[in-house]
Structure 1
């Protein structure tokens, strides 16, 4: 069936729906549209049998929905209406939530229901909206969309009018910043964390800090540090620690509030944002220990963790939006080397829910005094990390992808001996949409995995790849069919069973010989040198598309409508 996806941005959910529908043999076109007129133009241009809107902020015009079926994905259960469903769900501590696929009509979110799916909302710690959206919400949305499409294709299905629902209809307003305000003198750590996570990753929580207005992004509880409520107490890995009424929270990122008509502010590591504004105070750096003592949980936040269970080491990391700055890469490389000094047989890299990695950090690059120089430093730091994984010969390395990965993040995973991913993950193994050739040894790792012809198609077509398709073409070795919350434990169990196998020891013993044969055929350094030579030419050329694409991406300077190919990936984290 010919299906048109229309969306306000080609975001993670749109990519997932696109990949899943394509897997099932449908012919899928994608258009991003910022207005009803753009939706109309897209429908006229493609003349689809069915229109599906995975994430659309504008209304579909009457002259479109009145003559053809248009299905809207609403991130709320039947009867829920309004533009801020997930914000309200987290704010009100919902334990279960849902997704509804409904038919577009005169009134927003009031159309007949084609399919629904529900899911449990993780309670402790409170879910971050963006993480929930890419995880449980996306899983439910795909289930509901596939069912709705199947029903439409079969014909004869009558959608359920909302007027017949037993559930009470709840029409809730947009969750404005006035509802997100933090009272640092009165709010507990738990309240502040919930408020921050209900606004992740957009729009953030508007707040005053050091005499200026900022949007605060991300929140993690701190149980040790204390201070006067609202006071900044310490820094850690680019984050700031701010005192609450009964404790403190870590805030990883800040975004300056911009005036009307100005481009969007850059979302940056908090300390870098304050330093650029000239307001970063002298604060103590409080690093968190890398190694978890006795396998027990830490009582403080860190973006990089290491733990061991018998012969298996687990190096987990979680960077906002999956973006990895030069500093992120260097710290993760240091942690990786520490993990490799431990007496383990299997090392699991990743394993956290949500993003694995999306590669270099475009927001940090855009904010730098010399973006070309920072691009060069960032890609070299990524290459150093990937090289360390590729050249690990004394243990088996498993990349565990609990969520999406793109560009250099995919190549980081491919450097491992095995790649496991959750069934809901989406991979974008290409660089083209940001105008880059790419590095991270992709010219070695990608063809080695999928063959030269498929590698060329993946990088040229620049399409999202579902977990199932990634397994089919050899991009990953195992798909773990589970929810986002269960992935870490599932990966842990599999790794623990893998470590004692005699075949695992044989594979480790063979790695050194394989590495020597590879180096004799063509040294890894040659791949890196060739890739970086092309990247450097792009970075140094002020007229290269990369610079304009990076600015448009980070500053949210997008046209109201873009054609399907090539497509600028909007609404996703600042990474490449």
Structure 2
């Protein structure tokens, strides 16, 4: 079947769906940049079926009346609107249809809904109101402080969306069979897919996997939740309600609050609670502690709320959105706290990185396990926001890894160290922090070196003490995060994990010793394809090529148990994973040489003319600039023979390519300035003076152009 995916962006859900469908279908993808581009793409691809896994704009009538179009909606049957997940986490439970009254009087449910769902419905003129072809539901606990809108979307919503989408495709096939009365082959069969196919009524009332009706209560169309409706009242709202509001707004748009001296979007929402809070006496809204660049403020019910990240509000005069950065740097910048003397009524992180037993914010912690044979294993959790690892966070993680190494003694040896990551495993360097830095190139350099220090500890220091290293990916990974995992002796991945190993999409050569781990694991040719193709890779595909060693079923607690069991069995059986390393020179000299070569290329990406590719792409990514077109590597329907994306060409690596672009841009700017100055000179009363001013301004304004020669 020919399937066209229409997406606002190719996000985690659309990538999972693409990887699920691609083995059995011809799949192509188009960014829904405008109604015109969507119509054009549909006519070019002429698909049998269109699926919209992540779409924030209506499907044009010219498309859904011509092609069967299915929309994946993160809501239960009967629910509509773009803010469904936001309302659910806030406590909407369907018992009161007057949401304005609920929000105004805080009539939110005590415990929220027990279940939520994803619905695959047919696109019609009315938004999210077409015939239902499938829905899948899942349990939900809205007061789990690890549950944010984005983590819910990447986890339960994505899994349900895949199940419902696959079921919907099968039901479309059955509808063709019933309509045609014969089992046709190939395109002759799929050509019978039209918008006139009828979905059965039971598709709306029975979930895909269990056949049960929706168990989460009454549903009703939900309105758009505006930014102003997400604010909290520090003198009225409990810690639990504030946490819900913040977590429901993650990662877009954020919880807009006026509690601080200026309006800010805040992120995090972890609750601080425990016996120690009784000893803290402060007014609601007072900042009572800091930890790992996050701040904690007091709530009216005697608890605390942690804010890990913040973002300034975009003003009308701002060209783009502001970066989302850790709280302390921004709070320091706008004068809310003194970084040299921050409020500290709470304890800092434990020096030995043990897991705190009370509710709090803790990005990095270590748990030790002694298996039945008496051997010890260290499990390192590092749950960084959106998987991004800033310079400070990398240093914090290095300290945790060294702490683990220090526990390895002759009397109490350590057999293995397991990297667990968090809801993401890791996505590498922290692009938002880099974008917000006064010198983005220098911060990029500091960050990549700090990331390299983390990977070097895994590659070298643990190996020197004969401690097995395991990377257990429970969440998605990208770029430097994939390289971090690949450096381990053994890589385990959950079956739902998606990996994006390439760096080129962002205009980077990459480091983190990936030239050692990628090529060592999969060989040079396959490794080069991973880096140049810039396509998502499923856990199963990664296992097939050797980037991943083991794929385990399940998610959540079941996956955690499977990881612990596998590691314990591996250690007790005395197996030695990491045979790929035996073929390589991993001496300190060889690793230093690999690092030098990678950083040499990265220096070009940060400071040479080639840096144009990285700095512009980072800006667009961080500030959410809308793409101008769909990459040809996704839009197969647009690719002609001999056509490539810019990132797929060899010239993308050549400094001269970007030097020429800079010269052309400077020449255009120079000509425009000359014309403007000539006009100014013509208006001047003394032509001679104007001419001298013209020359003087040219030297001042375009000094860099002439220096570039």
Aligned partner of 2:627 among 559, 563, 567: 559
The correspondence of residues 451-466 of structure 1 with structure 2, limited to 5 A, is: 451-466=523-538
User: What secondary structure does 1:156 align onto?
Assistant: helix
CA–CA separation in structure 2 for the residues paired with 1:365 and 1:325 = 8
**In the alignment, structure 1 residue 525 sits paired with structure 2 residue 592:** yes
The correspondence of residues 22-421 of structure 1 with structure 2, limited to 5 A, is: 22=22, 24-92=23-91, 93-126=112-145, 127-153=147-173, 155-156=176-177, 158-160=198-200, 170-223=220-273, 224-225=276-277, 226=280, 227-246=282-301, 247-260=303-316, 262=318, 263-281=320-338, 282-285=341-344, 286-289=347-350, 291=352, 297-310=357-370, 311-342=376-407, 343-350=413-420, 352=422, 354-391=423-460, 392-393=462-463, 394-421=466-493
User: What secondary structure does 1:170 align onto?
Assistant: coil
The structure-2 alpha-carbon separation of the partners of 1:326 and 1:164, relative to structure 1 and needing over 3 Å to count, comes to closer
CA–CA separation in structure 2 for the residues paired with 1:128 and 1:350 = 19
The correspondence of residues 413-562 of structure 1 with structure 2, limited to 5 A, is: 413-504=485-576, 514=582, 518-519=585-586, 523-541=590-608, 544-559=612-627, 561-562=629-630
- Offset at residue 205 of structure 1 (A): 0.7
The structure-2 alpha-carbon separation of the partners of 1:63 and 1:445, relative to structure 1 and needing over 3 Å to count, comes to same
The structure-2 alpha-carbon separation of the partners of 1:116 and 1:339, relative to structure 1 and needing over 3 Å to count, comes to same
CA–CA separation in structure 1 for the residues paired with 2:115 and 2:70 = 23
CA–CA separation in structure 1 for the residues paired with 2:385 and 2:37 = 32
Whether contact under 8 Å (2:353, 2:400) holds in the other structure is no
User: What secondary structure does 1:212 align onto?
Assistant: coil
CA–CA separation in structure 1 for the residues paired with 2:488 and 2:631 = 36
User: What secondary structure does 1:81 align onto?
Assistant: coil
CA–CA separation in structure 1 for the residues paired with 2:61 and 2:202 = 19
Aligned length: 560
User: What secondary structure does 1:340 align onto?
Assistant: helix
CA–CA separation in structure 2 for the residues paired with 1:520 and 1:363 = 34
User: What secondary structure does 1:546 align onto?
Assistant: helix
Whether contact under 8 Å (1:350, 1:401) holds in the other structure is yes
The structure-2 alpha-carbon separation of the partners of 1:313 and 1:519, relative to structure 1 and needing over 3 Å to count, comes to closer
CA–CA separation in structure 2 for the residues paired with 1:552 and 1:118 = 35
Whether contact under 8 Å (1:290, 1:305) holds in the other structure is no
- More moved, 544-553 vs 404-413: 544-553
The structure-2 alpha-carbon separation of the partners of 1:191 and 1:473, relative to structure 1 and needing over 3 Å to count, comes to same
- Offset at residue 401 of structure 1 (A): 1.0
CA–CA separation in structure 1 for the residues paired with 2:252 and 2:556 = 21
Q: Which structure dedicates a bigger proportion of its chain to strand?
A: 1
- Offset at residue 546 of structure 1 (A): 0.6
Q: Deviations over 1:481-524 (max 9, x none)?
A: 112343333322322333322225xx69x99x949x61469811
CA–CA separation in structure 2 for the residues paired with 1:350 and 1:469 = 21
TM-score, normalised by the number of residues in structure 1: 0.92
Whether contact under 8 Å (1:113, 1:162) holds in the other structure is no
Which residue is equivalent to 1:11? Answer: 11
Whether contact under 8 Å (1:241, 1:251) holds in the other structure is yes
Whether contact under 8 Å (2:387, 2:427) holds in the other structure is yes
CA–CA separation in structure 1 for the residues paired with 2:603 and 2:383 = 28
Which residue is equivalent to 1:574? Answer: none
The structure-2 alpha-carbon separation of the partners of 1:313 and 1:159, relative to structure 1 and needing over 3 Å to count, comes to same
CA–CA separation in structure 1 for the residues paired with 2:597 and 2:30 = 35
CA–CA separation in structure 1 for the residues paired with 2:167 and 2:324 = 37
Whether contact under 8 Å (1:419, 1:476) holds in the other structure is yes
Whether contact under 8 Å (1:426, 1:466) holds in the other structure is yes
Structure 2 residues without counterparts, runs of 5 or longer: 92-111, 179-197, 206-212, 371-375, 408-412, 634-644, 648-709
- More moved, 306-315 vs 45-54: 45-54
CA–CA separation in structure 2 for the residues paired with 1:108 and 1:489 = 42
CA–CA separation in structure 2 for the residues paired with 1:128 and 1:103 = 28
User: What secondary structure does 1:403 align onto?
Assistant: coil
CA RMSD, aligned part only? 2.4
CA–CA separation in structure 2 for the residues paired with 1:307 and 1:232 = 30
- Offset at residue 164 of structure 1 (A): 7.3
Q: Deviations over 1:369-410 (max 9, x none)?
A: 111111111111111111110112121111111110000000
User: What secondary structure does 2:311 align onto?
Assistant: strand
User: What secondary structure does 1:253 align onto?
Assistant: strand
User: What secondary structure does 2:258 align onto?
Assistant: strand
Q: Deviations over 1:216-257 (max 9, x none)?
A: 111111124442101111211010111111211111000011
- Offset at residue 363 of structure 1 (A): 0.8
The structure-2 alpha-carbon separation of the partners of 1:87 and 1:164, relative to structure 1 and needing over 3 Å to count, comes to closer
Which residue is equivalent to 1:573? Answer: none
CA–CA separation in structure 1 for the residues paired with 2:518 and 2:293 = 32
User: What secondary structure does 1:197 align onto?
Assistant: helix
User: What secondary structure does 2:585 align onto?
Assistant: helix
CA–CA separation in structure 1 for the residues paired with 2:4 and 2:229 = 36
CA–CA separation in structure 1 for the residues paired with 2:384 and 2:646 = 25
The structure-2 alpha-carbon separation of the partners of 1:163 and 1:355, relative to structure 1 and needing over 3 Å to count, comes to closer
CA–CA separation in structure 2 for the residues paired with 1:290 and 1:40 = 58
